[in-house]
Structure 1
Amino acid sequence: MSSVIKNVIIAGATGSVGAPILKALLDEPSFNVTILTRASSSAKFPKGTPVKSISDEYTVEELTKAFKGQDAVVVALSTTPVARDDLAFRIIDATIAAGVKRLIPSEFGANNLDPRATSLVPVYEAKGKMLQYLQKKAAASNGKLTWTSISCGSWLDWALNPLKSGNFLFIDVKNRKATVYDSGKAPFTITTSRNTGLAVARALLKADETENKQIFLSDFVSNSREIIASLEKQTGDKWDITVKDSKPEIEALRKIYDAGDFYSTYPLLAISFVADVDVGYNFPKEQKIWNAQLGLPKEELDGVIKEAIELANRS
């Protein structure tokens, strides 16, 4: 069945996840892009882009009304609103009620159906339940609603930008220091934020090919030691490296999370990328990689590192 996607609405358009996706959508002339925002938001949006504002409660009724007439809904909301309550499920229910053809949920990270990931990081478990619910609802719709999920590993360009990520991977480019967990040689998939945004747009352009598919992206695979080696080579400086054992920190963070502190999931998420734990992050080893099929530009480690150094030198 041919599925032409023309009208696209995006939630979370100005966040770290949403900004590169919004740019890619707006750069594609075949899309009519609308932004969904909260009434209390003070975010500034590109001039001329239609905006639909709803209450902070994100009720199913309001979402359904906002989604009417849309061919696709792209969810780029941050981890907190997606994983802490049932917002992701309300969005799914609203897409069905509104007659939307395609939903791209807020995944963007690990394979959220992989028990290695969901058993270690609570946010992956929450997103996995959401994806299972989406698959169930899409199947029950008899093809009226379809889905595409996107897993991209880590955004190294974002992670090395302290203003955006707070040195997410424990690497401080400006001050030439880093923390390495365990051996520092655990491989993980890296996709740039710009290629992730492009992948969303291309997945909607290739709607038939990407229908009801998990899309795995990988610009390249690297590890903490390789990233730091490239940084040292390109800066010409010897970095201050601290080595830590991940096990006690993971155990402590899980206890904090289990005691009710949701925000402990963020350092736990970061450690899961760089520690000697198997979370299934080496996508090319286990999954079909869609970069070529989606026509994404090639990215390399040294190029991303060069950009990060130039950014740090300007700041």
Structure 2
Amino acid sequence: MTTPLKNIMILGATGSVGSPILTALLAEPAFAVTILTRASSSATFPQGIPVTSVSDAFTVSELTEAFRGQDAVVSAINTTAVTQDDLAFRIIDAALAAGVKRLIPSEFGTNNLDPRATELVPVYALKGKMLRYLIQKAESSNGALTYTSISCGSWLDWALSPTASGNFLGIDVKGRKATIYDSGCSRFSVTTSSNTGLAVARILQSPEKTANKQIFLSDFVTTPREIVKALERQTGEKFEIEERASGPEIKAQKERFEKGVFEATYPLLAISFVGDVDVGYDFEREQKVWNGELGLPRRTLDEVVRGAVEVASVVE
């Protein structure tokens, strides 16, 4: 691909991952960014940024029309929306029909093609099905449509924020307590929200190098116990620890999901990081990590934890 990717459309621009992506895209002068939103959305966006609205049905025909003239589409729609009602597949079909050159699907977690992950967490299986469909469509397009799949592990800055994630990993920074599953030594890659957003911008700036690839990001690898120790260093206080086994929780949440309770996927997602379950999250050991090639700034556990303590200190 020799043509630069200039016109970029983002879906889910105000979400947990969409917001830092939007910030990074707007910081790149070469990009002409457009936001796609639902007609019923009450979200507000930066002034001067074009906004296109479609109905809440997100039909293929509406999406196709919205995508026309866009070189790249970045989907940062949240997990619940993108994995239900075949929305992820409609986005792919519309991108192909509209002549979009690059699609970045809404993944931003694990390797959704890894059976270890898809067997544990149903939403990973749904996203894996979507990614395989995208790969097939890109291959059959003879280069007209390309993709970049991004796996970034945990957004630990988000996960430690009580307001943003509700203490997603079971670590309550403000309350100085944590739930530790199993050994507490499960290793997983962490990429900060800001570096995730910057990675998207850098990927779109290097279309040839990043075409039709799974991109793995990792600012650092850590464990639940290392996170708690870092928090104790920063706060000067001991955290109250509740030890739990992940097995019963996994069984209970899978049963809930099978009964149609989609929200059960979120405890399973959390346990996939912090429980003694191998879903291939140690990207630095198992995958090629792209942080260096993309020129991402170095981030450390202590830096992220320091920020989390500051955020928690102002939460009512």
Q: Secondary structure at the match of 2:108?
A: coil
- 2:100 pairs with 1:95: no
Change (3 A) 1:3 1:148: farther
Q: Which residue of 2 aligns with 1:116?
A: 116
Distance between the aligned counterparts of 2:313 and 2:260, measured in 1? 39
Match of 1:304 in 2: 304
**Does 2:49 match 1:49?**
yes
Q: Tell me the residue number matched to 1:40.
A: 40
1:85 deviates by 1.9
Q: Which residue is equivalent to 1:27?
A: 27
- 1:314 shift after superposition: 2.0
> 2:240 maps to what in 1?
240
| Amino acid in structure 1 at the alignment position of 2:305 | I
> Mapping of 1:162-177 within 5 angstroms?
162-177=162-177
Of all paired residues, the percent bearing the same amino acid is 67
Structure 2 segments unaligned to the other structure (5+ residues)? none
CA distance in 2: counterparts of 1:168 and 1:3, whole angstroms: 41
Structure 1 residue 185 and structure 2 residue 210: aligned? no
Per the alignment, residue 64 of structure 2 pairs with 64
**SS state of the match for residue 226, structure 2?**
helix
1:114-153 mapped onto 2 (5 Å cutoff): 114-153=114-153
Q: Deviations over 1:72-91 (max 9, x none)?
A: 00000000111122000000
Q: Which amino acid aligns with 1:78?
A: N
The residue type paired with residue 215 of structure 2 is: I
- Amino acid in the other structure paired with 2:19: A
Residue deviations 1:103-148 (CA, integer Å, cap 9, x gap):
0000100000000000000010000000000000011100000000
Give the secondary structure class of the aligned counterpart of 1:179: strand
Name 1:216's counterpart in structure 2.
Answer: 216
Deviations 1:145-171 (A, max 9, x none): 000010000000000111110100100
CA distance in 2, matches of 1:4, 1:211: 12
Distance 1:126 1:160 in 2: 26
User: Do the aligned residues in 2 keep the contact of 1:36 with 1:54 (CA within 8 Å)?
Assistant: yes
Amino acid at match of 2:314: R
Instruction: Letter of the 2:154 partner, please give it.
Output: S
- RMSD value over aligned CA atoms? 0.6
Question: Structure 2 CA distance, aligned partners of 1:164 and 1:308?
Answer: 11
- Give distance in 1, aligned partners of 2:90 and 2:312: 40
1:84 maps to which residue?
84
Code of the residue aligned with 1:114 in structure 2: it is D
Please state whether the residue corresponding to 1:9 is helix, strand or coil.
strand
Structure 1 residue 220: Cα displacement:
0.2
Structure 1 contact 3–208 (Cα < 8 Å) conserved? no
User: What SS does the aligned partner of 2:83 have?
Assistant: helix
Give the aligned residue type for 2:295: G
Correspondence for 2:161? 161
Counterpart Cα distance in 1 of 2:54 and 2:234: 47
Distance 1:102 1:238 in 2: 48
- Quote the residue 2:254 is aligned against: 254
How far residue 187 of structure 1 moved from its aligned partner, in angstroms, is 0.2
For the residues of structure 1 that align with 2:96 and 2:83, how far apart are their CA atoms? 20
Q: Could you give the per-residue CA deviations for residues 165-202 of structure 1, whole angstroms, max 9, x where no partner exists? A: 01001000011010000000010000000000000000
Deviation at 1:3, TM superposition (A): 3.5
Amino acid at match of 1:202: R
CA displacement at 1:233 relative to structure 2: 1.1
Counterpart CA distance in 2 for 1:66 and 1:93 is 13
Which residue does the alignment assign to 1:271? Answer: 271
Give the unaligned 5+ runs of structure 1. none
8 Å contact 1:185–1:276 — kept in the other structure?
yes
Deviating 4+ runs (over 6 angstroms): none
Looking at structure 1, the residues matched to 295 and 232 of structure 2 have their Cα atoms a distance apart, in angstroms, of 32
The whole-number CA distance in structure 1 between the counterparts of 2:84 and 2:90 is 13
Q: Matches of 1:228 and 1:211 in 2, distance apart?
A: 38
